[in-house]
């Protein structure tokens, strides 16, 4: 089984962000026979995300969602573009993933907006976020403006190409680095500080 988690940060119900997420998820599932897709609507976690931010620990519900992201084989991450970047809710959620959680994980990024003029927000905001988290972002990102939903200018093609990218990456995954940091024995920590035995002293 290949676990795909789709994180979607649309705020209205129904939302075009969710619509794009579902299209991306369906395209990926079509190319991955044993795919099991789970969609996380961040709207449903909005207050839990705020609580985690102020207390430093997640409510049980959110913990389960973060665990699902951590254990996923691949992510689909879709945000509306607000004020030229990802939405605050989207960023807040990914601010809460533990370090190394996304290391080596294939990620397909998508975004929606009212105008096509914001499409590069995917490249200057969303892609660097996941690169920082050591995820492997597929080359094709998918932006859907309002006009794309009624047009014939290639949204389907972009969705299919991005899904193919993710499918190909799933077959050649980088190793995840989820091992616990090794405990350095105390004597070694102490010795490293001794002028007589330190390599640079």
Site residues for another protein per CB under 8 A: 50-51, 53-57, 59-60, 181, 183-195, 198, 201
| CA atoms of 26 and 15, how far apart (whole Å) | 17
Closest CA to 143 of 135, 153, 133, 134: 153
Q: How far is the CB of 96 from another protein (least distance, A)?
A: 14
Phi and psi based region of residue 84 (left: phi greater than 0; alpha: psi -120 to 50; beta: remaining)? left
User: Measured from the CB atom, is 14 or 181 closer to another protein?
Assistant: 181
User: Measured from the CB atom, is 13 or 193 closer to another protein?
Assistant: 193
Q: How far is the CB of 64 from another protein (least distance, A)?
A: 13
User: Measured from the CB atom, is 14 or 185 closer to another protein?
Assistant: 185
Q: How far is the CB of 191 from another protein (least distance, A)?
A: 8
CB 105 within 8 A of CB 136: yes
Cα–Cα distance list, 15 to 60, 85, 112, 146, 169 (Å): 26, 18, 10, 11, 28
Structure tokens at 67: 């665990």
Residue 2, beta-bridge partner list: 35
User: Measured from the CB atom, is 34 or 200 closer to another protein?
Assistant: 200
Q: Which residues of 86-96 are buried (b: 16+ CB within 10 A; e: fewer)?
A: bbebbbbbbeb
User: Measured from the CB atom, is 4 or 89 closer to another protein?
Assistant: 89
Q: How far is the CB of 22 from another protein (least distance, A)?
A: 32
Task: Kindly state the DSSP code that residue 184 receives in the 8-state scheme.
Answer: P
User: Measured from the CB atom, is 172 or 194 closer to another protein?
Assistant: 194
Q: How far is the CB of 139 from another protein (least distance, A)?
A: 36
Q: How far is the CB of 66 from another protein (least distance, A)?
A: 13
């Amino acid at each position: 089984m290949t676990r795909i988690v789709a994180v979607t940060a649309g705020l209205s119900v129904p939302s075009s962000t969710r619509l794009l997420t579902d299209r991306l998820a369906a395209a990926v599932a079509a190319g991955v026979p044993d795919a099991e897709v789970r969609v996380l609507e961040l709207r449903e976690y909005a207050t839990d995300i705020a609580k985690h931010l102020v207390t430093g620990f997640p409510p049980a519900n959110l913990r389960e969602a973060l665990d699902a992201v951590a254990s996923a084989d691949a992510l689909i991450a879709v945000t509306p573009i607000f004020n030229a970047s990802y939405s605050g809710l989207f960023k807040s959620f990914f601010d809460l993933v533990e370090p190394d959680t996304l290391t080596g994980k294939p990620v397909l990024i998508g975004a929606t907006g009212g105008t096509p003029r914001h499409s590069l927000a995917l490249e200057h905001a969303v892609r660097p976020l996941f690169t920082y988290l050591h995820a492997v972002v597929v080359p094709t990102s998918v932006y859907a403006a309002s006009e794309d939903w009624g047009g014939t200018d290639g949204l389907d093609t972009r969705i299919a190409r991005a899904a193919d990218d993710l499918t190909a990456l799933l077959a050649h995954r980088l190793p995840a680095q989820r091992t616990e940091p090794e405990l350095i024995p105390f004597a070694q920590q102490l010795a490293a500080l001794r002028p007589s035995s330190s390599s640079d002293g």
